[in-house]
Amino acid sequence: MQRGRRIAFDYGDARIGVAASDQDSILVSPLTTLAAASRNLLKEIAVIFEEISPIQIYVGKPTNLSGVDSTATSKVLNFVEDLRKITDTPIILIDERMSTVSASRSLREAGLDSKKSKSIIDMAAAVAILEFAITIEKGKS
């Protein structure tokens, strides 16, 4: 597996959770939550890309439980096209069917109220997406 930082996005109508790995892809950490409707969204993401210098970008792809594209899939595909306008870094879509469910469960187990911690859930979902992506990537190498 190539050394370098990776980044993941959990795109939602209101918020976008962001997570990043360390150089060796051993540790994945929540990074931030961005406002999806921000006029400066791409500028904010460009700053993150400049700070992180990712070698790989993962974006959670929403599908329904049977794996068929959901109504949110087209919004995510538009987001990916926007990302491609500001970076040449490879972007891979990752199945995110269980990421938010997993993040909510983890927060509940930690004693946090998931309804009051939506931005934390979005970051935790991005962490879950990135951890899943790294596991797949390590399996290929």
Residues 6+ apart with CB under 8 A from 125: 10, 17, 60, 96, 99, 100, 102, 103
The residues, ordered by sequence, that sit 6+ positions from 14 with a Cβ below 8 Å of its Cβ are 35, 36, 37, 118
CA of residue 45 relative to chain centroid, distance: 12
pLDDT at 85 over 90: yes
Sorted by where each begins, the domain ranges of the chain are 6-140
Residue 17 has pLDDT above 80, yes or no: yes
Tokens at residue 87, please?
A: 């970076």
Q: What are 41-73's pLDDT values in tens digits? A: 999 999 999 999 999 999 999 887 777 888 889
* pLDDT recorded at residue 126: 94
CATH number of this structure's domain 6-140, picked from the four choices 3.40.50.1370, 3.30.420.140, 3.90.79.10, 3.40.50.1820: 3.30.420.140
Q: How do strand 91-95 and strand 56-61 relate by DSSP bridges?
A: parallel
